[in-house]
Amino acid sequence: MKLKKYLSIILSILTVILIPFFLYLTRRLLKSFLDKLSEYSPQLMQLQLDLATKNLTISETLTIQEQVHTIEFATQKALAINYLLLPIGIFLIWILTEGISWKINNKTKLKLFTLCSIPLFIVLYLFILQLLNFLSSLIYYTEYNIYLLVASGILLLILTYISFISVTLKEKLKHNLLFAKTNLKYLLLPFIFFTLSSTLILITIIIIYIFLSADYSILTPFIVLIALTILLIWQKNRLIKKILSFKEIKS
């Protein structure tokens, strides 16, 4: 029993360790493709000059088509890394570590955990995009509709709350929604603390990623990350026990 408990904790810690390192490795891979694309800049300038100044032979046309195809393929690879590999990789790390942790700790099926995580990750991705747009508007003094960021943030909080209850109770969606509404006043405060800890962990992960990219020491933020994760695990277990105790009272 203790072994399962410790394994669950180790998996949760492994989640927050793997994500910043995966981000760093993905960034290095993306940078290598972008460096390759930059090598094509002289070729593109020459291509533009050739198209504007002379009539091309069939051989030259085929050569240009091959160069364009190569550049297009490299661009598609870079976009695939940024928009496919990155979110899918993080999602798989989440499922294979935190999902198994929930399976050990709460006997939550991996299928249920995955189904609850999909809409949560989609909204989280949209929220991060809105947050980046907001930060960009502050830097470059452009207009931004703050209501989009607020709306996506509120939706993210609601989905997180419902998803947490769903993977804890393992009941039908209608029952989970009713339970979430009925017990909101009792669960709101511990959920707020849980959310704050999760936010601090997310910020620390970003800091570690930045430090790795800049070749700075990550010892201090890494220690902070582990401490915050242990705190989050304690809060998560308390919240699970509270939800299950309310379930027993209702039944």
Condensed to tens digits (0 to 9), the pLDDT of residues 190-221 reads 999 999 999 999 889 888 988 888 889 999 99
Task: Count up the domains in the chain and report the number.
Answer: 1
The Cα–Cα gap between 35 and 138 comes to: 29
The Cα–Cα gap between 43 and 48 comes to: 9
What is the per-residue pLDDT across 143-169, written as a single tens digit (0 to 9) for each?
A: 888 888 899 999 999 999 999 999 999
Q: Tell how far CA 228 is from the center of its chain.
A: 18
> Is the residue at 174 inside a domain?
no
The Cα–Cα gap between 124 and 79 comes to: 20
**Which residue in 98, 93, 128 sits closest to 113, CA to CA?**
98
Residue 244: count other Cβ atoms within 10 Å of its Cβ: 13
The Cα–Cα gap between 4 and 8 comes to: 6
pLDDT of residue 178: 94
Name the residue range of residue 21's domain. Answer: 1-107
> Is the residue at 41 inside a domain?
yes
Q: Please count the CA atoms within 13 angstroms of the CA of 216 that sit on its side-chain side.
A: 11
> Is the residue at 142 inside a domain?
no
Q: Which of 47-61, 68-82, 133-147 has the lowest mean pLDDT?
A: 47-61
> Is the residue at 223 inside a domain?
no
- Contact indicator for 197, 9 with CB cutoff of 8 Å: no
% the chain with pLDDT above 90: 50
Q: What is the pTM of this model?
A: 0.84
> Is the residue at 66 inside a domain?
yes
> Is the residue at 80 inside a domain?
yes
> Is the residue at 200 inside a domain?
no
> Is the residue at 127 inside a domain?
no
Token digits of residue 235: 């809060």
The Cα–Cα gap between 177 and 164 comes to: 11
| pLDDT grade for 237, boundaries at 50, 70 and 90 | very high
Residue range 130-143: mean pLDDT, rounded: 81
Query: What 3-state DSSP class applies to 217?
Result: coil
Query: What 3-state DSSP class applies to 152?
Result: helix
The Cα–Cα gap between 82 and 227 comes to: 30
